[in-house]
Structure 1
Amino acid sequence: MSSNSRNTNTTPRTNASANTNTNSSNSVATSTDFNTFLQLLKPRLTTPQFFWFVGHVSTLLNSAIYLFFSFFSTGISQRYYKYALMSIISTYLIVLYQVYKSSNAFSFFNLKNFTNNDNFQYLALALLWYLVSGYKVIGGGLYPFIIYSTFHVLNYFKNFILPILPSMTPQQKTLVQNYINHFVRTYNEQSLVASANLEVLVLVQLAIGSPLVLYYLLTNFWLAIINIIVIVQFVAFMKLRYRQSKYTKGTFDGTVYKLDAFMNSGTVPLQFVQTYANLKLQVTQLIARIPF
């Protein structure tokens, strides 16, 4: 994990030590009327940080609608799944644009920067998922983004919206600020662990579904290619996250340890244990060939 924090600046969403300080120049101990609120809000409407905030709000809203309609309508849920991915993509583009402005073009477009910067990693993931969303929906894929967006929205709201909200007393604003600070401090670490677990679950889900690629090769060649690309990219993504995130590494190592313990418990037939060992070795060798 890098030292970037989960705050209201356009910083990487995956590096998320809680920032509970108020960065706004307006104290929560002030009250405003609606006209003053609009005057104070207007300068912020043109800042990259505000559009970044709107992108995260849109991520949460579209994800909620997608999850709701996933029980009733495939067409509607798929539409809002795309909208959620578009919102996610927009937040990363804003972050990377800010990074680009503060660095030179050579260092920004350096291959090492692409592989080491988690903003590029998550942007590439969301872009591919959006491009294939007409053919394949990644079950559970939005959950980590929902977690990250929740904390970003809370911090931006606390630092920049809450201090200028009308119809609230200073005491009420302080109470809300303290509640948000408590929530972020309490659940920040757990949210990173949860996100890592969800990403490992997506990997497991893709691995379980990978044999379908053979079926698709015979029945729907294009869908087979899409599944192969999605699997390869996510494996590469998880390799980078394993190397860079202690949460991903801990979750993945713990999952493999439990699986190894189960396979070696004596309750599994020997031929399955041998098949598992051979498959694990082949997968490890294959992942090692990924050039980063």
Structure 2
Amino acid sequence: MPPKATPSTKSTIKSASPVSQLIKVIKTQQFYWFLGHVFALLFSLLSTLTGLIFRNESSLKYFRFALISNIITYGIVIKQIHFKSIGAKFSRVKLINDENVQYLILALVFLLSSYILKTQTQAALYPYFIFGVFHVVTYFQNHLITIFIPSIQAQQHVNSLINNFTTKLNQPALYAASSVELVLAVTTGFDVLISTFWLILRWNLIDYITKVIVFLTVIVFNKFKFDHSQYTKASVLQMDQTWNGYINKINNPKLTQLFFQLRDLAIHYISLIQIPKDVVKKTQ
């Protein structure tokens, strides 16, 4: 979600010359939000490419830069929404329920864990990358197209391409991002499970605790998304049907019973993840 520009700013920018338009755009918080997404996309691509071609150290470095860029962009939005002025009052319930805050915390956890574990979870960048593409494209359409494309005919053509892109791919992209976020819950969960056995041999307690924190953060993040996002709910339903199909194909009654017991137990405990009632009461 981008920071909002005031109507007066928009009208002033549109009526000015290209150079003065650019100068005024650069002075807005939105522009640095836009730059944050641009750098996040760039570093995400570099992290992926260097991970495939070069050393892991380079990939990890760009992975961290990508997360830092995303943290900055979400921080700008959060500041404008919840902390417009110094000492301004804010609602803790709204803060917790704000997806911008949730994504910032998730990025921060992955960033800090990368320094402790000396490794990265590449899939953690994918949801940010998906959102970043749409944010960059729409920002360019709304604020930069008249500056960098002087021809009205060319502007209309680019506008048409962007509108076609966002209309056709917006919902599939949101579903894809939700699916990746659920996959993160599964992969980080398996990582904790495997690390539990290695803990006995290596006894690296700090790494193990870090992986548990990452896993729990991803679980809480997805639970909050599930409570508010139709795309996350659809992704959970699809994943549940897929796993049920695999279990039924095995046709082992004992394994089927164990699976559904663990499934029901997980659903029970995950359903307990909610905003604390005392926080809600204090802010009502």
Q: Distance in 1 between matches of 2:176 and 2:139?
A: 22
Segments of 5+ residues of structure 2 without an aligned counterpart are 5-9, 276-284
> Which residue of 1 is the match for residue 221 of structure 2?
237
Task: Deviation per CA, 1:9-40: give whole Å up to 9, x if none.
Answer: 427xxxxxxxxxxx77666xx9x9xxx53332
**Per-residue deviation, 1:102:** 4.7
Counting helix residues as a fraction of each chain, which structure ranks higher? 2
> Which residue of 2 is the match for residue 251 of structure 1?
235
Give the TM-score normalised by structure 1.
0.83
- Aligned-residue CA RMSD (Å): 2.2
Segments of 5+ residues of structure 1 without an aligned counterpart are 1-5, 12-22
Task: Deviation per CA, 1:80-102: give whole Å up to 9, x if none.
Answer: 00000000000010001101245
Task: Deviation per CA, 1:58-112: give whole Å up to 9, x if none.
Answer: 111000100100112100000000000000000010001101245884434x1x2
* AA matched with 2:173: S
Whether the 8 Å contact between 2:13 and 2:21 is mirrored in structure 1 is: no
Alignment of 1:88-167 (within 5 A): 88-102=70-84, 105-108=88-91, 110=92, 112-134=93-115, 135=117, 136-165=119-148
> Which residue of 1 is the match for residue 33 of structure 2?
52
SS at match of 2:124: coil
Whether the 8 Å contact between 2:13 and 2:25 is mirrored in structure 1 is: no
Q: Distance in 2 between matches of 1:225 and 1:208?
A: 14
* AA matched with 1:242: F
Identity of paired residues, percent? 28
> Which residue of 2 is the match for residue 227 of structure 1?
211
> Which residue of 2 is the match for residue 37 of structure 1?
18
Whether the 8 Å contact between 1:37 and 1:164 is mirrored in structure 2 is: yes
Q: Distance in 1 between matches of 2:99 and 2:151?
A: 40
Matched, 1:186 2:159: no
Ranked by relative contact order (alpha carbons within 8 Å, sequence separation 6 or more), the top structure is 1
SS at match of 1:10: coil
> Which residue of 2 is the match for residue 68 of structure 1?
49
